[in-house]
Amino acid sequence: MQVIDKAVPALVDLAEISTLGDHKKLGDSIVNVLRECIQSQGAGRNSISSHAKEEVEELLNSRQRLKWEKNMLKEDLHIKQAAALVVKLEGNSLFSSGDISGAPSKYSEALALCPMRSKKERVVLYSNRAQCNLLLQQPLAAISDATRALCIHSPINRHAKSLWRRAQAYDMLGLAKESLLDAILFINECSQSSDPDLSLRQNKVPDYAERLVKKQMRAAWLFREAAIKHGGVQCEGDAGDMYGQETDDSEWETASESDIGNDERDDFGKNDRAWKADIERKERYNKAMTKDMKQGYNMLLMEDEA
């Protein structure tokens, strides 16, 4: 049952997908599988964890809530939506005042109030909570919230701010390929966005997105085969790769080129220069990441206009 325990959180996050390609009502299929899993669980080794069971039960309750809301008067639904908006604004106020740890609970409360069919509002709430989790250094929670926002959004997987937040969360976990994919999708959405804060100015990719893409391309070694084919030197563990900054041209020299003049170099001087270069790269990276997190902060405030 360990496999199920690991799969349940991801499946729950995907449960609100309506259609994906040729798969119709994919979310309903996921819910049915999880329901059967709960009903057929045994005891001992065949039982799933209590945490996984709680997540599935919460999902099933949300489905039941959706059925109840279908029979509610429109006026009552409007009241629920207005109440959710008030609580969301309280969360935004906490966030703006620096109470990052207090804001997520307000967004959770707003999600509990917000009608299930108010998908646009729920996208904002999940995405805002994802940003809080990012700043609280909780990447798994950020990925979960961003994924839920992307599943609810129409069209699916096209909410730029959630893509960027999930890309950052994947980066925190060292998942380079996943982070790279979301960063590229984010840039693609920016190129098509009418939002002045997201649209690409003069067709220029945002610096923070460009830095993340370059970093993950190196970390994922997407062009490793080409580098080897053309005589490139592998530099595994190099500070330039680790910190996502531009590497020196010497890293891509052929062996014969890099050997020229080596005999005349002083080993101590070479190590000293390498150490200084490493420190400079780290400082540039830290400044860049600080700027990127501030960019994420601004994106949360802009979310209210969506």
Give residue 132's pLDDT. Answer: 97
Give residue 224's pLDDT. Answer: 66
Q: What is the token pair recorded at 141?
A: 């929670």
Cα 257 from Cα 78, distance rounded (Å) = 71
Cα 27 from Cα 151, distance rounded (Å) = 9
Cα 225 from Cα 238, distance rounded (Å) = 18
Question: SS3 of 293, please?
Answer: helix
CA angle, 17 then 18 then 23, to 5°: 100
Question: SS3 of 20, please?
Answer: strand
Give residue 231's pLDDT. Answer: 59
Give, for all 306 residues of the chain, the pLDDT tens digit: 577 788 899 999 999 998 777 778 888 999 999 998 888 875 555 577 888 889 999 999 999 999 999 999 999 999 999 999 999 999 999 999 999 999 999 999 999 999 999 999 999 999 999 999 999 999 999 999 999 999 999 999 999 999 999 999 999 999 999 999 999 999 999 888 766 666 666 567 788 999 999 999 988 886 666 666 665 544 444 433 433 333 333 223 223 333 334 444 444 455 555 555 555 655 555 555 555 554 554 555 445 544
CA angle, 38 then 41 then 47, to 5°: 110
Torsion sign, CA atoms 86, 15, 19, 117: negative
Cα 107 from Cα 91, distance rounded (Å) = 6
Give Cβ neighbours of residue 189 (< 8 Å, ≥ 6 apart). Answer: 158, 159, 160, 163, 198
Burial class (CB in 10 A: 0-12, 13-18, 19+), 51: exposed
Give residue 250's pLDDT. Answer: 27
Q: What is the token pair recorded at 143?
A: 């990925």
Residues forming a β-bridge with 24: 19
Q: What is the DSSP letter of 23?
A: E
Q: What's the pTM value of the predicted model, to 2 decimals?
A: 0.75
Give residue 299's pLDDT. Answer: 58
153-159: long-range contacts at Cβ-Cβ below 8 A with a sequence spacing of 24 or more? Answer: 153/119, 153/123, 154/119, 156/17, 156/18, 156/19, 156/20, 157/185, 158/189, 159/123, 159/127, 159/189
Nearest Cα neighbor of 222 from 233, 211, 230, 214 is 214
For residue 224, count other CB atoms closer than 10 A to its CB. Answer: 12
